[in-house]
Structure 1
Amino acid sequence: MAPSRLTTIGFDADDTLWHNERFYKLTQERFAGLLAAYSEPESLEERLLAAERRNLRHYGYGIKGFTLSMIETAIEVTDGTLPASVIGEILEAGRDMLSHPIETLPHVKETLSALAGDFRLVLITKGDLFDQERKIAASGLGEHFHAVEIVPDKTRDTYETLFARHGDGAERAMMVGNSLKSDILPALEAGSHAVHVPYELTWALEHANEPVAHDRFHQVAHLGELNGILAGMQ
């Protein structure tokens, strides 16, 4: 039986339900190989991260913005002499990312199946609309969710709005995800419970400190432990 005060659970998608960041890591290594004659990998990584940070407000989150940031960085480190063939290689790397296979993380399917009868499940993800829709369809998980929301960013207002739209308000909701910055802190600010599920890799722009003293903050090693958190809240 679901806890009476909790009716809605939001789930992040990338690196919470399926692998994602590992493909960015592999592409960055490919990018470093293409620019090896112009820049050391560590310096190139710093400049790429700076470009991504600058470009978020222009391109948003996702692979297309990442690809454009790689091209911008490559032009910078080559002082504008970047061969067209290398631009083509970068574009190809971006296209490869947009077709990468979807591999769900352990315990995801059984956890969603177990919870779907007792709670409204809402998938809340940010990034490129077409790419996120592709991944949701390929994952086969869409049937478990009452609603799917693909948003430009995740803020306190995001969770207040979505948990009111699809549930009984933020205070009777829980957000589950791998990013402290996007999934945990703003959900807590909205008044929700938040469950952090750490992933093996975290993008530098998603780093944040754990709100360990917050009474609505929880952490699990994997999604299979989520039922234990919910049981303890009854």
Structure 2
Amino acid sequence: MRLKDRTAIVTGAASGIGKAIALRFAEEGAHVIVADLTDMPREGGDKTLDLIRSAGGSAEFVELDVASWDSVDAAVGFSVSRYGALDIIVNNAAIGVSKALLETSEEEWDRVMGVNAKGVFFGCKRAVQQMLTQPARDGVRGRIVNISSQHGMIRSPHDLAYGTGKAAVVYMTRQIAGDYAKDGIVCNAVAPGKILTGKTGPAIDPDILAYSEARTPWPRLGLPSDVANAVLFLASDEATYITGENLMIDGGWMAN
């Protein structure tokens, strides 16, 4: 019960990696705000909220558009009014268009950056505003975990907007960690490699899978639970004297 009675917002928590994080947090005793545009999992299956509650966990669903300040503000306000504080936020929601520079329209660029960069900016800003009002526990007022990507450090093949947005997440994580460490705000990121979330389409294109398998030393590709375990560690009190880090969860991809 590493997160017992802690309140955590997880954005993009209806599906994939966000769903795994929300479920893992609930297993460890957190009050989880399942925040997403819809509560329907993109990959199918049971809803995150239903799974948490059926297992005896504590959770609420909040409809959230991370690209809207008013929506983010309302989600944080709900969390505080419902549970009394905001201890953790996981900025996970992200999108991509799978297009190279010359094929990416201005509208597509703005949409991806609105979620992947501005959405994380809004989530971090509103969380820090709230956390600064809270008393410190062992020197910590709150923890932020951003979901970046290996493609925040290296080329994202034929997906310029996605990679650029994730690079912004890596930078924001370091900036916020340094600026607010003295105030007891912990800010880290987790950078997944190729994670098999159950999505269809480009995510499981045979060429993409073959490329990922060839680049990954570990003898399998990643699972949402791999990312969730790392996020849990950074969100817990076990992660002491760690801030501004971008933890790779990639089976050795970046080492290869």
Q: How would you bin the TM-score normalised by the shorter chain? A: 0.3 to 0.5
TM-score, structure 2 normalization: 0.43
More helix by share: 1
- Select the structure of larger CA radius of gyration: 1
TM-score, structure 1 normalization: 0.46
Q: Which has the higher contact order (CA 8 A, sep 6+)?
A: 1
